Structure formats: structure tokens, C-alpha cells
Amino acid sequence: MKRLLAFAAITAAVTGAYSQDFPGSKPITIVVPFSAGGPTDRVARDLAEALRKPLGGGSIVIDNVPGAGSSIGAAKVARATPDGYTLLLNHIAMSTVPTLVRNVPFKVESDFEYLGIINDVPMTLIAKPAMKANNYKELTGWMAENKGKINLGNAGVGSASHLCGLLFQSATKTEMTPVPYKGTAPAITDLIGGQIDLLCDQTTNTSPQIEAKKVKAYAVTTPKRLATPLLKDLPTLQESGLKDFQVTIWHGLYAPKGTPAAVTKKINDALKTALKDPDFIKKQEGLGAVVATDNRVEPAEHKKFVQAEIAKWSPIIKAAGVYAD
């Protein structure tokens, strides 16, 4: 017993000393489970820059590990040494992958330490420029007249646009033909060309097309209208008549399960500082994102939020019967 107590005391002392030194001169890697250049990658790179100062000014590296609805990158972090030097930045996929990937190699609720929500990115419902409907009410009439003939694009199974599309079909009780692409860019290209009819995607992707009037925009998916000058006149889907419809693509930060509490606190404290950084806020606003300021920046509330999102998305994905594996 004395030996066990002595060992525990030594372990605690070593861990405490290690935690005080964290991160030291060793670089931190943030794994992004999507391709470089996409919206989540941009959020990660902006956040890395904002985290450097509160974490001592060391190097923070972005590692893009795309595939299987984000599960490949997330699995890499779940298996990583729990020392705080390998983190995961994932979006809403963290709540959909338990259902979307039937053989997911980790457990979202128990294989990670939750570090806080970063931001929320609104979605916009847009259509091909030749669409005759000029507002959402007219669009619902067009949808009723064209049942069975509507093509709804997305950037691939598990993408933000895929998830928004599933929820939109469920809420409107309208079956549409999903047309998956390898990314948002080709989906928007075909929408502009009229090869697909509708797309529901992040403001980070749709705002330039809306501003250039290359697509028709009908509504945003937030509870309230957006304050950004470009989108402030777009109504919400809720006020347009689609009750209880809201979806945003949120991003959160995670560490492997077992990362020392003192280390996760350091990272969470740094995250809270980063979220108040004026430059970071400005960059996020430029992407159409809203930086988190509510209690979801706390690890426990972050986890509760993800659990609620899992409960929300699971039946919708199961009803669609489309999986990423």
C-alpha cells in the first residue's frame, strides 16, 4: 500500500510538472478531418493563429486527414497519445458520424475530452438561377408541382450540405433526388449551370455566389435573420413558414480521452482567449460565421450540446438510409 501511495504521489507530481510546462517548445497538431482549403480547414487555420499567443507562442500545425464523413481523422486523434499535443477540430459531423458511419472505430461520447465550441456557421437555401420562384412561398409551390423530379445537390455524404438537405426533405416532407459531388465547388458549378435545382450550404460557400447574383437565395437556416449586410434581407426558413427548422454548422475542439485535466484546462483557457481575439472574430465574420460566446465554450456544456445533436440527427440519417461507409 505504501508503495502504491508513493507511486501515485510521484505520478501526480510528474503530471503536475508536465502540465505546468505544457506546451513548452513542442508543436501542437490540430487534425482537420476534411480537405485543405475548405471551410473547416479555414476555421482551423484561423484558430491556430489565435491560439498561439495564449499557448505560449509555439508552433501549431494543421494536419488534414479527410474521408468517411470525418471518421478517419477523428479516429486518428482518438488513438493519439493523450498528452494535449494532438487535437481534433471537427464540425457538426461529430454528432452525425455515430449514425452516418455504421462501423465507426471510436465512440464520440467517451473517446474524447471536450474542449469547447468555436463557432456557428449559418446555412442558406439557394437554387439555380433559372428557377422561376422568386421567394420561399413560390418555391414551395414549385416543389409541390415537381414532386419526384427535384434534384438536390450536396458536397458528398456527411457534408454540411448533405445534412442540411436531409433535414430540409424531412421538414418539408418532400422526397428529392440527392446528387452528391466531390466537394462544394463542383456542386455550385452545376447549380449555376442548371444541372441541379437546389442546394443548402454554408454561408462560407454560398455568399460569393449570392453577391454575384449567380444563384437565387431564398432563406437562412438560423432562428433570427443575419446581421451581415449581404444576407440581412434574407428571411429565415422559420419565418417563411417552415416551423422549427434551424441548422448551423458548428465547430468544436477535442483531445484524446485521458488527456490530463490540467492540460485540457490550459487549452480551454487558451480557446476562450482566442474566441475574444478581435482579429479572429473579424476573420470568422468574413466567413459568415458567428464566434461562440455562450456556455458551450465550457467542456461540460460542449459535451451536452453534442449529445443533443446526436439525438437530433440520428433518426433523420436512419430514415434516409444513406451512409458514409
**Can you give the pLDDT of all 325 residues of the chain as single tens digits?**
555 454 444 444 444 445 678 999 999 999 999 888 888 999 999 999 999 999 999 999 999 999 888 999 999 999 999 999 999 999 999 999 999 998 899 999 999 999 999 999 999 999 999 999 999 999 999 999 999 999 999 988 888 899 999 999 999 999 999 999 988 889 999 999 999 999 999 998 899 999 999 999 999 999 889 888 889 999 999 999 998 888 999 999 999 999 999 999 999 999 999 999 999 999 998 777 899 999 999 999 999 999 999 999 999 899 888 787 7
pLDDT at residue 14, rounded to an integer: 47
What is residue 205's predicted lDDT score, i.e. its pLDDT? 87
- The alpha carbons of the chain give a radius of gyration, in whole angstroms, of 21
Q: For residue 200, what are the contacts with CB-CB under 8 A and spacing of at least 6?
A: 123, 124, 125, 126, 152, 161, 164, 165, 168, 221
The answer to whether residues 142 and 133 touch, using CB atoms and an 8 Å cutoff, is yes
pLDDT of residue 243: 86
Confidence at residue 11, expressed as pLDDT on a 0 to 100 scale: 46
* CA-wise closest residue to 60 among 70, 69, 50: 50
**DSSP category for residue 295:** G
Q: State how far the Cα of 325 lies from the Cα of 320, in Å rounded to an integer.
A: 14
H-type alpha helices, the chain: 2-21, 39-52, 71-78, 93-100, 136-145, 160-172, 184-193, 203-211, 261-274, 278-286, 299-320
**If you ran DSSP here, which 8-state letter would residue 324 be given?**
-
Maximum CA pair distance of the chain? 80
**pLDDT, position 10:** 45
Residue 287 CA to residue 56 CA, distance in Å, equals: 27
CA distances for 243 relative to 147, 154, 186, 222, angstroms: 21, 23, 31, 12
- Model-level pTM? 0.84
